[in-house]
Every structure is written in structure tokens, then in C-alpha cells.
Chain A
Amino acid sequence: MSDLAAPVAPPAPASSALQATLRAFNTNKASWIGLAIFLIVVAAAIFAPLIAPHDPLDQDVLDRLKPPSAEHLLGTDYYGRDTFSRLLYGARISLVIGVVSTLIAMAAGTLIGMLAGWRGGRFDTITMQIMDMLLAFPSLILGLIIVAMLGPSIENIIAAIALTSVPPFARIARAPTIAVKGRDFVEACRSLGFSDTRILAVHILPNIFPEILVMGSLWLANAIRTEASLAFIGLGLKPPTPTWGGMIREGFENILDSAWLAIAPGVAILVVVFALNLLGDGLRDAVDPKLKNEA
């Protein structure tokens, strides 16, 4: 599959590659909708303290399990906490864990893929086989075991999600590196005495950057979903910190009479993941129509 993803694009200057991408992106309405929704969620998370009508940790035993009302837009949970406020604060956790783990995976995966493609030979074979194994292993199970073993701190959750997201970035960075490696301009750089690091960073990285960005948006969606899944299983940040997955977990216990407690955060996750997938899908078509092959 990785060969399909190999763009044989000439090493055009990064600016024109980006411009072409932006032009193509411009024409795709769905990805604009995705971007808009995602930015709204980001804004809601950043300004949560200003928007939230209540303190997300404030308990009110007299107001337990209240259905949605003007006072509590999405009702209250078992401890009488305002669901809407908790949802806003929960967005922060989801976004921070998602963004940081995806950035780490992007950086590590790109580095691994570029090095494997650049050095070739046995190093390439072994590295990519490890990546393939990691890709084949159910990422939720791996994440679950790592977090369960190391404990559900924010660092461990980020590390577990980042680890499971490295392979796709390594794959996508490797193929174009190999394609570019044999070209004359790389030979020219070498004869000018440029170091490998400089050639990789200045002349190869900009060419593969748009694709890495596309993968980034799609895997950010995945990371947010994985974090929520871990929290739902009970491997999220400890209560009372509001996380979307944790809210669903708590709400699920009262599903028979207060279904909105589980469904509201569920819809929130769905909206963010869907928005990111719309965005990533549009970006992908914009960057390289050939990439449509990889579902």
C-alpha cells in the first residue's frame, strides 16, 4: 500500500506546493465546514471559563439528575453538576491530549520514516517491519494495556496514544523520501557538501509536509476518539476532572432514566471527530487525489 502513496511529485519549492494545496482546499465546501466546526470547538474549549454557566466541579445534591432546562442547558449529573459546563471543560482535555499526542506521533513518525527511507537497507527493512507490526496490533488494546500498567496520568495517556499513531506517519514519510533520494538535486546538494540532516530537513521535509498535515488531521480525530474510549473503559483522567469519555462512563450508569448524560458528551465527540474527518478528507483530496486510495 505504501507504494500507492508515493507521490512522484518534483521537489517543487514548498510555497508553491502549499499554494496549490490551498487552492484545491478552497473549492471543497465540506472541508470548510469541518474546519469551522473544529475551530468553534477549539474556541469553546479555550474560553470555557467565560462561557460555562456553572463551575464544572460544583456539586448540588438538591439538583441531581435534572433534565435539560434553562438553568442547566444539558441537565445535571448524579452529583448535581452542570453537564453543559462539564462538556466545555471536557473539550480542553480531549483537545490537549489529542493535539499533543498527534504532534508527538507526527514528529516521531516522520523522523523514523525519513531515516528509514534515507538510509535504506537493513535499517529500513527492520524499522518498517516494526511499524507494520505496530499498525497491525489493535491500537485500543495496546493503549489500554499501556495506560493500565503505567497509570492513567495525562502523560501516560498521551504517550500511549502517540505510540499507536506513529506507524502511519512513518509510512507516509518514507515513500517520498525514497523517491526524492535518487534525484539529481540531492546529488548536487551532496556534492556541495550539505549534511544529510540539512538535505532531509530543508529539501525533503517541505515536500512531504502537506501529506503529513493531512494525516495529522485524520489521526487527531482518531486520537480524540481513542482518548474518549480509554476514559469510557475507566482509563481516563481521574474524576472529578471532566473528560468526555468519563462523562459517558458516569452517565451510562444512569442510562435508564437520564440518557442525556451519556448521549450529550457522545454527540460532542462525534461532532469533533466528524469535523476533523471532513477537514482531513478535503485536505487529502487537495494535496493529492491519488491518496484517496487509502481509506
Chain B
Amino acid sequence: MTAFLVRRIGFAFVTLFAVLTLVFVIVRIVPGDPAQVILGDQASREAIEAMHERLGLNKPIVTQYAEFLGNAVKGDWGVSMVSGRPVMAEVLNVLPWTIELTVVSLIIGVVLGVPLGVWAAVKRNRFFDYVARIASLLGLSFPAFVSAIILLFLFAIEVHWFPVISARSGSLGAWAQSITLPAINLGLISAAYITRVTRSAMLEVLSEDYVRTARAKGVPSGSVVWRHALRNALIPIITVVGLYLSILIGNSVLTEIVFSRPGLGKLIVGALNQRDYTMLQGMMVIYTLAVVVVNLLVDIAYGFVDPRVKLG
């Protein structure tokens, strides 16, 4: 397990390094001078050069790159070109909102999706299976912002059960009210993915010899499905859920916009609109970190679920 983890962590670092490099390159090949963007068209030559110096853009490109990597490692991502506050502080400020939303919706997705998928597989080609397949296909066809708008329209505008702007906190009631619609939106889409992958993984496993053996030796049917089969179906489920998390991150951006909820999504869209390059760099780093951490967690989960992985 240790060797396996060390290799995975090594790969995670390579990924992080590659993305940081990519971020650095992207930000610099963009047409347009950041200093000009910040100062506007009327800026004098001297002002632009002063800004270059402040942003470190007058240094050789290799030095810039080294400083960029060094600062990224130290957690210093510079200051926002728009607000003047440290990027790190701005990101950390809204990060809990996004983490909270993704975690709650993933829980909804797993709690709904796994049982539905197992049930659909057990009832293969029966009415329930048919409904579950169509419903999950429909669910994962929804662009996250379309389902969000429909939920907002139905439950916040037509029926005033929830606030139109989901940015409240403080009491538990206010928190629950503000997270419910966004989390249901992402949770239902997650459930659609998880139902599908659980169903197909279970179908594969249920036809295996050991399942038949378990049945033959008289293990109760429920135990066969939930203990013998589901445990072995977990690997492909975890793989797809891991891949799905990157979709979930994208979907959370759209959901945060529709529900006017603070979070990374609103931060990145604001940075895009205002061409806040340092903020964008920082956001790229945080998203990459998120992806790398998620992949590591998925790898560790493999080890727990399937002892054979440790050897691999």
C-alpha cells in the first residue's frame, strides 16, 4: 500500500506541476497587456512600466516562472488585480461555501443513487429498471443551470418555500433554507450518474460465479446483493464518482450563479469579467489542487475497498 500511495502522490505532484506550468503559459500568451488592462487605455507609458514592475512582468520570463512556482508552493498567490486583497484570502473566504455545497450534494447523490442503481440491477429489464434508466439518463442530460433555474422558478418564485438568493447563514434554519435548493439541484444530477454506474457495475458483478455460489449455499438474497455483490461493484463506482467530481465542480459554478450563492463559482466568473489575472491564476491552482486531492482520495479508497489494489 505504501509503495502504491507513494507512486500516486508522485503522480499528483507531477500533475500539479504540469498544470501550474500550463497556467503560467496560458496567462502569458493571452493577447493584451495585463498592466494596460488594469490601468485602462488612457494610462501613461510610465504608469504602465511601473505596473509591470509591481507585477514582476519586467523580469526575464524564466525568473517569473521560478517566482511563480515558488510563491504557489508557499501559498502566496499574489493580490487580486481588482480588489487588491490577497488572492489566497479571497479564495479561502468563499471556499467553505463551495465545499459545503459539493459535499452535501454528493451525499444526496450517493444516498439516492446507490440503492436505486442496485435495485435497478436486481430488477433488470423489469418496470422499475426501465423507469430508473430513463430517469437517470434524463437527469444527467440536464445542464446544471437549467435544472437550477427550474427549481428556482418552482420553489422560490411560484411557491415561496425557499429564498431566491441562497446566501444566508447564521442560524441552522437559515442555513438549511439557503442550501436546500442548490444541494438538491446538484444532488439529483449526481444521483443520476451514480444510479447509472451502480446499475451497470452491479449487473456485471451479479453474473459472477461467486454470486451464484453464495446463492447456492443458501446466503439470503439481500445479503448476496448488498454484501457480496455491492462490495465488489464498488471499484468501478468509485472510479466514476471520482471522474464525476470534476463535472460536479463545473456544475457547482453554474449552480452558484443561478442561486446567487457565494463560492468559487461566483468568484471565478467575477474574475473572468474583470480580467483579474492573478485571481484566475489562483483559482486554477485551487481547482487543480481539488482535482489532485480528489484523485488521491479515490486511489486511497481503492486500497480500502479492494486489497488487491495494494499490490498493483
**Interface pair A229/B254, CB less than 8 Å apart:** yes
Whether, in the assembled complex, B280 has its beta carbon less than 8 Å from a beta carbon of chain A, the answer is: yes
B307 to chain A, nearest CB (A): 19
A168 to B257, CA, bound (A): 29
| Residue in A138, A144, A277 whose CB lies within 8 Å of B291 | A138
Whether, in the assembled complex, B305 has its beta carbon less than 8 Å from a beta carbon of chain A, the answer is: no
- Asked whether A233 and B269 contact (CB < 8 A) given A136-B246, A139-B250, the answer is yes
Chain B residues lying within 8 Å of A278, measured Cβ to Cβ, are 137
Question: Number of B interface residues, CB 8 Å?
Answer: 57
**Interface pair B204/A129, CB less than 8 Å apart:** no
**Interface pair B250/A138, CB less than 8 Å apart:** yes
Of the listed stretches B42-50, B53-61, B150-158, chain A binds B150-158
Closest A residue, CB atoms, query B295: A136
Chain B residues lying within 8 Å of A229, measured Cβ to Cβ, are 143-145, 250, 254
- Asked whether A292 and B288 contact (CB < 8 A) given A141-B250, A266-B146, the answer is no
- Which of A138, A252, A263 has the most chain B CB atoms inside 10 A of its CB? A138
Whether, in the assembled complex, B239 has its beta carbon less than 8 Å from a beta carbon of chain A, the answer is: yes
A286 to B237, CA, bound (A): 23
- Secondary structure call for the A interface: helix
| Residue in B134, B149, B196 whose CB lies within 8 Å of A255 | B149
Closest B residue, CB atoms, query A224: B143
A288 to B247, CA, bound (A): 25
- Asked whether A133 and B153 contact (CB < 8 A) given A141-B253, A141-B268, A228-B143, the answer is no
Whether, in the assembled complex, B236 has its beta carbon less than 8 Å from a beta carbon of chain A, the answer is: yes
Q: Among residues 103 to 145 in chain A, which have CB atoms less than 8 Å away from a CB atom of chain B?
A: 129-130, 133, 135-141, 144-145
**Interface pair B268/A1, CB less than 8 Å apart:** no
A103 to chain B, nearest CB (A): 21
Whether, in the assembled complex, A100 has its beta carbon less than 8 Å from a beta carbon of chain B, the answer is: no
Whether, in the assembled complex, B180 has its beta carbon less than 8 Å from a beta carbon of chain A, the answer is: no
Chain A residues lying within 8 Å of B153, measured Cβ to Cβ, are 255, 259, 262-263
- Asked whether A138 and B246 contact (CB < 8 A) given A234-B269, A256-B157, A293-B204, the answer is yes
Chain B residues lying within 8 Å of A150, measured Cβ to Cβ, are 30-31
B97 to chain A, nearest CB (A): 17
- Asked whether A137 and B137 contact (CB < 8 A) given A255-B157, A259-B157, A262-B149, the answer is no
Q: Among residues 267 to 307 in chain B, which have CB atoms less than 8 Å away from a CB atom of chain A?
A: 268-269, 272-273, 275, 280, 283-284, 287-288, 291, 294-295
Of the listed stretches A45-53, A183-191, A197-205, A268-276, chain B binds A268-276
| Residue in A129, A137, A281 whose CB lies within 8 Å of B288 | A137
Q: Among residues 61 to 85 in chain B, which have CB atoms less than 8 Å away from a CB atom of chain A?
A: none
Q: Among residues 27 to 68 in chain A, which have CB atoms less than 8 Å away from a CB atom of chain B?
A: 30
A-B contact pairs, 25 of them (CB 8 A): A1-B236, A4-B236, A136-B15, A136-B246, A137-B19, A140-B250, A141-B287, A144-B253, A144-B268, A144-B272, A148-B275, A148-B280, A150-B30, A228-B143, A232-B143, A234-B273, A248-B146, A259-B153, A259-B157, A266-B149, A277-B137, A277-B141, A292-B200, A293-B204, A295-B196
